[in-house]
């Protein structure tokens, strides 16, 4: 599997570290909403098909990437910078 | 008289093997059942078997999307063990071990269960201490465990590199002698035949496409072979849990589906007479009765429903094998394949009533589902029949993640690919 890093170009998957489901909403650090925190820590979308996920190019430029990848075919649809990492409230 | 016996083998051999009955029927689905079990793998079939045998519930259908045993029950590396640290896991898997020890007799079907032991190798003093602790925890609950010295290991596995110059020297190991392996296809076929003979309908090539509801209650399923109603609908679909739960309108689960690869080599003379695990990586190896080395390693490490893996893990698994057995460098690999693992957030399974009325859920087997096959079906059948869990599966709820009651044997936290 090759992932095309926006900085470094197409690289082998062994250069990357998987950081999981990119759909999760991280509550504000001061939030005391227990349901929101448990959902963030434990709930996953886990689709069979296109999956929005976070990877880090840990063996290269170390950028965090948002990758849309098909979990049935391993085909990669798009790769962009993750910006805020996992989605956070009030950030884009 | 048992259907399979020395006498029936001899009689059929002399009469041209023309009188054997098919091991299970191929019935068309009825309009309704008392219980529908979705998933014709090991766990679904054993659930149906124990529903019929232990609870007298025989009006049961097992629905299988493909052919019987086409999923993980035929894709695993056949290890059976109960060497866990945490009491919830130890009690459950030890119950499974006890069912394994009598399974061939119980099913009148030779599952070739061979208690050749499982040895976890330790490569650092801290790891050996950790194994001693786990062994003590096991013995405390009545499970066999013994710490082995390098000399004992050398006698048991002469091909293993136990020299001080190994990349990761072996310092000792934790042995569970009652652990072993079984022929996984026979487990599926034996349970299928046992359930079928007690009246269970096993319906292959029947994919569930949706759930029937009456208000909030699940009252059946729609399938590629029509609608089937049931008072109780039980899921035992392992790696496809997310997909089937989405059909029921539940989009998020504490589960990720990952791919795990396994490998088998060409046949060799007997060389490894136990199940061996490497302590400085993730690698396990045993030898089948045919002589092939059966081995595997880590998950590929990202969400996947593809049932096939990629080359970096192949490379890693082979290098770990050679770190232990330099002498195997020129052995050829015969086959490799992948299976779907429903990885939970704490590495432990889920066997529970719900989460919807009329639904029962069995999932989250990570990559340890094969050894659990008897106890999983046994506990799930109890849960379905009584509408409450047995004490062995009571800890394995779905809501444990939200109540702070996780059962994390490896202490890895909510990163499923690390369990």
**Quick check: A9 pLDDT over 50?**
yes
Domain end position, chosen among B291, B318, B344: B344
DSSP B212: E
CATH number at residue B210: 3.50.50.60
Residues B411 and B326 in one domain: no
**Quick check: A88 pLDDT over 90?**
no
A92 to chain B, minimum CA–CA distance in Å? 22
User: How confident is residue B3, by pLDDT bands cut at 50, 70 and 90?
Assistant: confident
| Residue B6 lies inside a defined structural domain of this protein | no
Answer yes or no: are the C-beta atoms of B208 and B223 closer than 8 Å: yes
Q: Quick one: pLDDT at residue B1?
A: 46
Residue of B nearest to A36 (CA): B402
Question: For the residues B373-397, what does the mean pLDDT come to?
Answer: 97
CATH for A2-88 (3.40.50.620, 3.20.20.120, 3.40.50.300, 3.30.2270.10): 3.30.2270.10
**Quick check: A61 pLDDT over 90?**
yes
Question: For the residues B76-91, what does the mean pLDDT come to?
Answer: 96
Residues B326 and B263 in one domain: yes
A20 contacts in B (CB within 8 Å)?
A: 256, 303, 415, 417
Task: Note down the domain range covering B165.
Answer: 118-180+256-344
Q: Do A46 and B256 touch (CB under 8 A)?
A: yes
Please state, in angstroms and rounded to a whole number, the distance separating the CA atoms of residues B202 and B192.
8
Domain end position, chosen among B284, B313, B344: B344
Q: What is the pTM of this model?
A: 0.94
| Residue B280 lies inside a defined structural domain of this protein | yes
* Closest residue by Cα to residue B39 from B4, B71, B79: B71
- Locus of tokens 């201490």: B129
Pairing of strands B292-303, B255-267: antiparallel
How far the first Cα of chain B sits from its last, in Å, is 46
Least confident interval from B1-15, B60-74, B109-123, B165-179: B1-15
* Closest residue by Cα to residue B168 from B322, B298, B300, B275: B322
Q: Do A72 and B306 touch (CB under 8 A)?
A: yes
Q: Please give the share of chain A, as a percent, with pLDDT higher than 90.
A: 83
How far the first Cα of chain A sits from its last, in Å, is 29
Exposed/middle/buried for residue B90 (C-beta within 10 Å: 0-12, 13-18, 19+):
buried
Residues B261 and B340 in one domain: yes
Phi/psi class of residue B286: alpha, beta or left (left: φ > 0; alpha: ψ in -120 to 50)? beta
Instruction: Give the contacts of A14 (CB within 8 A, at least 6 positions apart).
Output: A59, B312
Q: Quick one: pLDDT at residue A86?
A: 52
The total number of residues written for chain A in this structure: 92
| Residue B21 lies inside a defined structural domain of this protein | no
Option in B246, B254, B303 nearest A42 (CB): B254
Q: What is the pLDDT of residues B242-289, one digit of tens each?
A: 999 999 999 999 999 999 999 999 999 999 999 999 999 999 999 999
Residues B377 and B358 in one domain: yes
Q: Quick one: pLDDT at residue B13?
A: 93
Instruction: Give the contacts of B283 (CB within 8 A, at least 6 positions apart).
Output: B277, B295, B296, B297, B317, B320, B321, B324
**Quick check: B404 pLDDT over 70?**
yes
Q: Where are the domains of chain A?
A: 2-88
CATH number at residue B288: 3.30.9.10
Q: Please give the share of chain B, as a percent, with pLDDT higher than 70.
A: 100
Q: Quick one: pLDDT at residue A90?
A: 45
Between CA B282 and CA B370, with CA B348 as vertex, the angle to 5 degrees is 65
Q: Do A39 and B252 touch (CB under 8 A)?
A: yes
Least confident interval from A19-28, B72-81, B178-187, B386-395: A19-28
Question: For the residues A8-15, what does the mean pLDDT come to?
Answer: 94
Residues B31 and B163 in one domain: no
Query: If DSSP codes are grouped into helix, strand and coil, which group holds residue A4?
Result: strand
Residues B307 and B350 in one domain: no
Question: For the residues A5-12, what does the mean pLDDT come to?
Answer: 94
Pairing of strands B180-181, B172-176: unpaired
Option in A18, A35, A71 nearest B417 (CB): A18
Q: Quick one: pLDDT at residue A25?
A: 84
A39 contacts in B (CB within 8 Å)?
A: 252
Residues B70 and B139 in one domain: no
Q: Quick one: pLDDT at residue A91?
A: 46
Q: Quick one: pLDDT at residue A92?
A: 41
Domain end position, chosen among B344, B364, B384: B344
Query: If DSSP codes are grouped into helix, strand and coil, which group holds residue B401?
Result: helix
Please state, in angstroms and rounded to a whole number, the distance separating the CA atoms of residues B347 and B363.
11
User: How confident is residue A87, by pLDDT bands cut at 50, 70 and 90?
Assistant: low
Residues B95 and B209 in one domain: yes
Percent helix, strand and coil across chain A, each to the nearest 5: 15, 40, 45
| Residue B160 lies inside a defined structural domain of this protein | yes
| Mean model confidence pLDDT for chain A | 89
Residues B271 and B222 in one domain: no
Question: For the residues A36-65, what does the mean pLDDT come to?
Answer: 94
| Residue B401 lies inside a defined structural domain of this protein | yes
């Amino acid at each position: 599997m090759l992932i095309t890093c926006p900085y470094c170009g197409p690289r082998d998957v062994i250069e990357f570290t998987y950081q999981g489901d990119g759909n999760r909403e991280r509550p504000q650090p001061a939030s005391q909403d227990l349901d929101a925190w448990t959902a963030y820590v434990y709930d996953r979308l886990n689709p069979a098909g296109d999956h929005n996920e976070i990877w880090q190019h840990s063996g290269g430029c170390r950028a965090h990437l948002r990758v849309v990848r098909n979990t049935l075919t391993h085909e990669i649809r798009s790769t962009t910078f993750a910006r805020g990492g996992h989605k956070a409230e009030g950030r884009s | 008289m048992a259907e399979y016996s020395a006498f029936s083998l001899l009689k059929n051999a002399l009469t041209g093997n023309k009188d054997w009955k098919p091991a299970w029927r191929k019935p068309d689905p009825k309009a309704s059942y008392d219980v529908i079990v979705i998933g014709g793998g090991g766990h679904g079939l054993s659930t149906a078997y124990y529903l019929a045998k232990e609870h007298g519930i025989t009006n049961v259908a097992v629905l299988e999307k493909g052919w019987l045993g086409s999923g993980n029950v035929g894709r695993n590396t056949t290890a059976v063990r109960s060497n866990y640290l945490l009491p919830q896991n130890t009690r459950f898997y030890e119950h499974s071990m006890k069912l394994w020890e009598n399974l061939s007799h119980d099913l009148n079907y030779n599952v070739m269960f061979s208690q050749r032991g499982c040895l976890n190798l330790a490569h650092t003093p801290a790891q050996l201490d950790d194994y001693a602790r786990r062994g003590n925890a096991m013995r405390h609950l009545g499970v066999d465990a013994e710490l082995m010295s390098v000399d004992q290991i050398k006698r048991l596995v002469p091909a293993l590199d136990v020299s001080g110059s190994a990349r990761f020297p072996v310092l000792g190991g934790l042995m569970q002698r009652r652990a072993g392996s079984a022929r996984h296809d026979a487990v599926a076929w034996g349970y299928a035949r046992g359930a079928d003979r007690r009246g269970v309908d096993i319906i292959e090539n029947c994919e569930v496409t949706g759930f029937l509801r009456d208000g909030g209650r699940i009252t059946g399923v729609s399938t590629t072979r029509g609608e089937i109603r049931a008072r109780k609908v039980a899921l035992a679909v392992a790696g496809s849990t997310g997909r089937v739960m989405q059909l029921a309108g539940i989009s998020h689960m504490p589960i990720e589906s990952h791919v795990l690869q396994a490998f088998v080599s060409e046949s060799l003379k007997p060389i490894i007479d136990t199940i061996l695990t490497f302590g400085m990586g993730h690698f396990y190896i045993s030898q089948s009765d045919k002589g092939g080395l059966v081995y595997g390693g880590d998950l590929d490490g990202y969400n996947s429903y593809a049932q096939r893996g990629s080359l970096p893990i192949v490379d890693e698994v082979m290098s770990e094998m050679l770190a232990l057995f330099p002498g195997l460098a020129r052995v050829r690999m015969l086959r490799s394949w992948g299976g779907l693992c429903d990885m939970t957030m704490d590495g432990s399974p889920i066997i529970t009533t719900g989460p919807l009325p009329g639904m029962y859920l069995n999932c989250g087997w990570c990559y340890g589902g094969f050894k659990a096959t008897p106890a999983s079906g046994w506990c799930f059948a109890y849960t379905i029949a009584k509408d409450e869990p047995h004490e062995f599966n009571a800890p394995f709820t779905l809501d444990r993640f939200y109540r702070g009651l996780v059962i994390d044997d490896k202490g890895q936290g909510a990163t499923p690919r690390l369990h």
